[in-house]
Structure 1
């Protein structure tokens, strides 16, 4: 057994006491081929300090073997020794067999650090030297995709997929339909999914497929993919809001509620699921469930105005007017949204607090002056207030322009003029 093999065995057995000794013996006795393999394995195991020693020894013995310089340069870059790493890579000559490999390592470094143009230039230079090399094309496509240049990425993915469906761990089918979706070609993305459904196997691809199908209105297919995601991994929390949305489109309130409750079991911080679940529960007339969901949501996110409005609406529906008002007790009136003022107006009106109701109606009026339902409510309220004939007439004028055939309001108008 070579010293290199002994060193790797010791590392695999978590015995690091002889590492330095075995490494020196390997460098002194093992063949260059064995040492090259040792360096690669040490890098894969994460022992880069040891692999750097091996590569330096190999470079000293074979100064013209530039591939060792590329491998060492890559390790140095990953370890934060950027100047030394780049210096090694830049010194690989263009006529070297390792030059293209050097360009790829440089491109990866520049991309990782956000230098898109520099990375692209390195990849384009590499592609010019090795135009048939799919690894370079794939790297360029991934770079374009990450930088949001989806049209450029699409052309390359379409070419790559003619020869393979996966590149390394990347599912090219997923990349292709995802890129089409990023461009806005949702129908084309859906067609790709339907044509290659048997190739969409990994969980992330299924999630993305569900999202695309939801975007094109194919709720049944979206549900199919999202169910697969959840069955495969119940804690895939991003799938639950989409699944609830698909069932919402089908007006299946029972399944919306089930999806929301299931998702909240894994992620109690999802404010969207509290809202969707409560809405579905209210539609099912399960008002206690709706109230419980909204209260829990507000405990998690007390500043969520949507949840608070939903709970306020629910309280008004149930005749819990004081509870609806209490939701806004601590808020500055100037910070309240117009719908909150409308809800407060209705609550105060039902509690016979006319002065507060009048104030809230007037605060809500600028936003809802073209809303027939609001104008009708406000008209009926002010018609019960003393000295309000002029404002009632103005409200009726606005309302009847919007709903000219409302006989009750026409009759009221005729009685006050």
Structure 2
């Protein structure tokens, strides 16, 4: 009789119950942030943290937790960290310099970070990040390619310092170390909402050029859809396309329609698993299931015409470093974990961040005169404006937005009646539109 192993869904439920029991601290008024780091035939491994979602962006303790797929036994949490000895070894190997000091630094969503100084040059600081999602060797190579081929005033990236042997180390441990130069400044998500309209216009024009620079990176032919991997081969950076890991879609896909079908089916799975939205599910889930299971064949062939490009899939204000003194000046684009070869319009949600106020549901109200911001963005890159208005793009966005807005975020209980109504407004509008256009 075959051995019964627990599957991922059951393991996630056990993990959350374990964390909410207080295993890594009091969960009161906190959310659980977790990410699957490694899967083997006998074990799941996660990075897990308790996070004050509304609190300041401070370093938080993340823990390595494993679940045995046979016995369901959960390991004792081990704090994820880089020891001073490891920091010293990494800096020496990558830069030839010697560690002077290190302090915990503001973390990314999928990494822990340290600010490091060296004895040889106290005016220079580095950021050492322990990443469990990003392919560090690929990130280093891609950022090097960008710095070599794109003008730094258009698409600035922090200098990277590859650690010899880190690719193999990440393959074995599930975590990789990345070293970049610390770029002084502040993230644009803190400053952009407070800029004047004229300042926003300048900023979105600059961001349009940055997006265009990404989209212009040369991709291998034929152009496939998936995760973009960069490999250094004797000093030359070679790009290839592998299965999508960001959404777990698989691939790579040679067809835009197949990519959309995989994306929408993945969105349905996420909707089915989402908790705390029972009112929404009772109203829409069965109709959405029916559409997804029976009418994805209706995606028109014209979507195959949409350009497939290289992209930083998370190039929103939260990953842009700007000058503290002049916050319309872009100092660096950071966190190149999510890099893809994909239809350019799949960046719809990210680009919309520059036209909308921040919101907990991810799609806030438009800024005053948002139409002028959009015009400024697309008029700066007129060749792409033509594509943005093209029928292939509009049809693609109809289906892509269905996948994007199919699952609403959990709605807080303390909202006013009008706030509660507005919270899922875009989800309901998009889903209703598709249900009406593609009835049974």
Q: TM-score range by the shorter chain?
A: under 0.3
Quick check: which one's strand share is greater?
2
Q: TM-score, normalised by structure 1?
A: 0.22
Quick check: which one's helix share is greater?
1
Q: TM-score, normalised by structure 2?
A: 0.21
Q: Could you say which structure has the greater relative contact order, defined with CA pairs below 8 angstroms and 6 or more residues apart?
A: 2
